Structure formats: C-alpha cells, structure tokens
Amino acid sequence: MEAILKKKTFSPNTERVYASIIKRLGKLDFKFPDKKIEKVDYIKEFFEKNGLDKASTRLDMLNVIIVLRTIEELPVDKLKDYRGNLFQERLNKNVEKLNTLKETLMSATEYREELMKAFEAGEWKKFIVGYLMLSYGVRNKDVDVEVVKDKKEMTDPKQNYIFVRGKKATWVRNDYKTVKKYGVKTEVITDPEFIKAVKAHGVGRLFPEGKLNSKLPKLLINKMLESKVFKMIIDEAYVAKNTEEINRLSKSRGTSIATIKGFYDLNATDDVIKELA
C-alpha cells in the first residue's frame, strides 16, 4: 500500500495522514484488494473482526482504500456506496449525541447573563472572548487576537487583530481553521460594551504568544468549549426558525450548512437549517 501511495503527490499533511492509516491497516494484517473485485464484504468483516466500531475510523480507512484503488485505476463504485452508508451512520450517531446534549446545554439567554457579569466585573478578556464566540460562532484560534491602535500596525499576515476607531471596532481574522477556503474575514462591531471592553483591555495580545490553549480555558463562560457555544447559538436560531441567522453564523464561522446539519444541529431536522440562495 505504501508503494501505491508514492505513485501520486499529495500535500505533506495529507500524505502523513494516509501513511499513518496505512501503517495501522498493516498492523491489523489488512489484505489490500488489488484486483478488480472490490471485496466490500471482506472489508466489512475486517472492521468487525478488529473491533473498529466507530464510523469515523472506518470512514478514514475506507477513504484510503478508495484512494489507493483509484490510483491503481481499479473499480471503486461499490466501495463509494459503502462509504455513503458509513457517512449516514456517523450522522445518525451524531444526531443521537446532539439530542442528548440539548438536555444539558446552557441556554443562550443564560450565557448572555454570565457574559454581562464578566463585563460588570471588569473581566475584559473574558468578555471579549465570550462576546466573539457568542456573536460569531467562532473557534478558539479566532479569538487569539492582538489589539492595535491603528490599521497600519496590522503587519503580520498570520495574526488576528482588533482596532477601535470612534464607535466601531474592526476585527480582522487572518488565522482561523478554514481561512484557506473562505479567506480573510473582517467584522465591524458597534456594540458599545464590546468597544468599552477592548478600550479597557488596551493595546496588546489577549494571550501571550503560543499560550492560547493553556490560558483560554480560564476565560470560557461556564467552561463551555467553542463547539458547545456554537451548538447553543445554532439551537437558538433554530427554535426561532431564523434560517437567515444560521446562514450568517455559517459565514462568520467559516463552515458549511452541511457541516452544521451533521455536527451542530441539536434538533437534527432540515426545514430551518438550509442554505439561502
């Protein structure tokens, strides 16, 4: 399998991931189907025999098998059908988890109340982080920002920035998970509490360089991870039947409607969460 992989050029990260999966398959004594017959039944039995119950694990392995057979110009139609079934299985399990999570998740109203407590206590970093996650549904990396006096000081193309001019704060995201797909994002924020918090924080980074992962947990409202915050605000928009808001959050986070449906919808229905034309 390693020899087949080397026949095609991939990005360093993709090649590393594929090589790791191939190594794991090898350790489990997987016999690669290198003939015309796709051997879907053998692959299913292999997964079952080795206790590979997680749909995501099976999908990762199956994807590599399909890639290798494609390189060898071997049939993959039946394998792709099986992959579709696995993908649906994963979505169904995600739905179960999300529906269970809904029963214990903090409401957006409660989150806002805690956020304002941070503002009133002068916990400026906590308020800034919580506000950005609540208002834009962003990930951790997005809130790793540096406050600067002027746009001219935004010299690092891999740094996120905030600067205030009058009654407006401009937040520029050069570095976030899906920047290669969606590009640099700029948000203009006019909320007076946010403006005050940024001014009170002053010039400088919210987190010391390289310390986001260690410092951020102390600033999270109710210890809520960004993924749960996003699920919370998607749920609020769903209950309000606000498809426009869901699309706004999809754009601001830099994630697709399909991903929101499969991984962040606590209600798991399609009528509200859909892409607007």
pLDDT in tens, the chain (277 residues): 899 999 998 888 888 899 999 999 999 999 999 999 999 999 999 999 999 888 888 899 999 999 999 999 999 999 999 988 888 777 766 666 655 556 567 889 999 999 999 999 999 999 999 999 999 999 999 999 999 999 999 999 999 999 999 999 999 999 999 999 999 999 999 999 999 999 999 999 999 999 999 999 999 999 999 999 998 998 888 888 898 999 999 999 999 888 887 666 556 554 444 455 4
pTM of the model: 0.67
* Sheet of 204-205, strand order: 185-189, 168-173, 160-165, 145-148, 204-205
Q: How far apart are CA 142 and CA 255, in angstroms?
A: 13
CA distances from 39 to 14, 24, 31, 33, 46 (A): 25, 19, 10, 7, 11
Is residue 105 within 8 Å of 182, Cβ to Cβ? no
What residue ranges do the domains of the chain occupy? Answer: 2-101, 108-221
Is residue 130 within 8 Å of 142, Cβ to Cβ? no
Question: Residue 175 has which token pair?
Answer: 């570095």
> In the chain, how long is the greatest CA-to-CA distance?
68
Residue 35 DSSP symbol:
S
Residue 215 DSSP symbol:
H
Is residue 174 within 8 Å of 158, Cβ to Cβ? yes
Stretch (H or E) spanning 185: strand 185-189
Q: Which residue, chain included where needed, has tokens 């400026």? A: 124
Is residue 54 within 8 Å of 94, Cβ to Cβ? no
